[in-house]
Amino acid sequence: ERFQVFVTRNDMPQGGIDLLKKECDVKMSSHPSTMPREELLKAIAGVSGIFCSLTDRIDREVLDAAGPDLKVIGTISVGHDHIDLAECKKRGVRIGYTPDVLTDATAELTMALLLSTSRRLPEAQHEARSGGWKSWAPTWMTGPGLAGSTVGIAGFGRIGQAVARRVKAFNTKQILYFNRSERPEAQETGAIKVTFDELLTQSDFIICCAALVPETKEMFNKAAFEKMKKTAVLVNTSRGGTVDQDALIEALQNNTIRAAGLDVTTPEPLPLDNPLLKLPNCVVLPHIGSAAIETRNTMSELTANNILKALKGEPMPAEL
Ligand code: GLV
Ligand code: GLV
């Protein structure tokens, strides 16, 4: 008998869906978007596997709705703050995720956001398109350069380290990192482990690549912004929850820090009346860190392979 797997949206990259269909009965949401909760709860009754994304909250209610045949949750993401890991473990439900395959794409996007924010690309393009570009001007549209600067990285996992390797190529003076555990791999980029306070006070650019866990929740708060240089630029490509967003809005409005570049916000999507979307010193992107075409297909295939292995009771390529 073939296992039943439910896919929580109908626009997952095809690679993984094709793999699943070879071996399982695949049922799929009819929505190219996050499923309404009630519909999701009904649709997963009796399935053995769920292929989900970071926009699906996988909690006790979902696990109950799926029932005792559920063996595996496969999320097409490296982040897993949307999944109640403890509850899954308790029930013997295995969890697959997609580390490594999105590291380069996310590090690339982080560099793009860092440069867009510091060198004010969205503002500058707006000027070019709207007639604000009158002539070349020596102090117009200037922003801080990376060369010679100190860059601090909060969260020095796979993505943080990949960002460090790229940052190093921009002739920065030094790279600092804050991480709960020591990272011997830091030697490759000469990154120096510091306390969070040192990261805040010494960095010209601060990049958050830290997974959202209780210890990192709103680590960038009012007190943190006050410790940062007034000229500092903050970039966040991890999860919106690592930043106290109201405190960030205030810090940007009062020039407590210079600018922020966010690929992640609270909530997502960010409501159109949110001040972050109006501030000239803030660049907001719609959570596209891993959105390189090939990367997304590889993530889909890895998610499917995680699910297929778990259903057979075998080791998964990437299990939490
Ligand atoms: C994206 O944010 C991911 O966790 O993969
Ligand atoms: C987790 O966010 C990682 O660094 O891959």
Show the 3-state SS of 253-264. Answer: HCCCCCEEEECC
Ligand nearest, relative to CA of residue 157: 2
> How is the chain split into domains, by residue range?
4-101+293-311, 103-284
Q: Is the CB of 153 under 6 A from ligand 2?
A: no
Q: Is the CB of 211 under 6 A from ligand 2?
A: yes
Q: What distance in Å separates the CA atoms of residue 235 and residue 261, rounded to the nearest whole number?
A: 5
Q: How far is the CA of 100 from the centre of ligand 1 (A)?
A: 11
Q: What distance in Å separates the CA atoms of residue 242 and residue 160, rounded to the nearest whole number?
A: 15
pTM: 0.96
Which of 139, 144, 142, 140 has the alpha carbon at shortest distance from 235?
144
Q: Is the CB of 279 under 6 A from ligand 2?
A: no
My answer on whether omega of the bond before 267 falls inside 30° of 0, hence cis, is yes
DSSP assignments along the chain, one per residue:
-PPEEEES-TTS-HHHHHHHHHHSEEEE-S-SSPPPHHHHHHHTTT-SEEEE-TTS-B-HHHHHHH-TT--EEEESSS--TTB-HHHHHHTT-EEE---STTHHHHHHHHHHHHHHHHTTHHHHHHHHHHT---S--TTTT----STT-EEEEE--SHHHHHHHHHHHTTT-SEEEEE-SS--GGGGGTT-EE--HHHHHHH-SEEEE-----GGGTT-B-HHHHHHS-TT-EEEE-S-GGGB-HHHHHHHHHTTSSSEEEES--SSSSPPTT-GGGT-TTEEE--S-TT--HHHHHHHHHHHHHHHHHHHTT---SSB-
Q: How far is the CA of 78 from the centre of ligand 2 (A)?
A: 6
Ligand 2: residue whose CA is nearest its atom 2 = 211
Q: What distance in Å separates the CA atoms of residue 105 and residue 291, rounded to the nearest whole number?
A: 7
**Which CATH number does 103-284 carry?**
3.40.50.720
Angle at 116 between CA 279 and CA 146, to 5 degrees: 115
Catalogue the active-site residues.
Answer: 287
Q: Is the CB of 99 under 6 A from ligand 2?
A: yes
Tokens, residue 21: 């269909």
Q: What is the pLDDT along the chain (320 residues), one digit of tens a residue?
A: 799 999 999 999 999 999 999 999 999 999 999 999 999 999 999 999 999 999 999 999 999 999 999 999 999 999 999 999 999 999 999 999 999 999 999 999 999 999 999 999 999 999 999 999 999 999 999 999 999 999 999 999 999 999 999 999 999 999 999 998 888 888 889 999 999 999 999 999 999 999 999 999 999 999 999 999 999 999 999 999 999 999 999 999 999 999 999 999 999 999 999 999 999 999 999 999 999 999 999 999 999 999 999 999 999 999 99
Ligand 1: residue whose CA is nearest its atom 3 = 77
CB 239 within 8 A of CB 81: yes
Read off the pLDDT of residues 89-104 as tens digits, 9 standing for 90 and up. 999 999 999 999 999 9
Q: How far is the CA of 99 from the centre of ligand 2 (A)?
A: 7
Q: Is the CB of 213 under 6 A from ligand 2?
A: no
Atom nearest to 79 CA in ligand 2: 2
Read off the pLDDT of residues 271-314 as tens digits, 9 standing for 90 and up. 999 999 999 999 999 999 999 999 999 999 999 999 999 999 99
Q: Is the CB of 242 under 6 A from ligand 1?
A: no
**4-101+293-311, superfamily in CATH?**
NAD(P)-binding Rossmann-like Domain (3.40.50.720)
* Side-chain-side CA neighbours of residue 260 (13 Å): 31
Judge if 4-101+293-311 and 103-284 fold alike in CATH terms.
Answer: yes
Q: Which of 100, 159, 180, 216 to mutate to test the pocket of ligand 2 (most atoms within 8 A of CB)?
A: 159
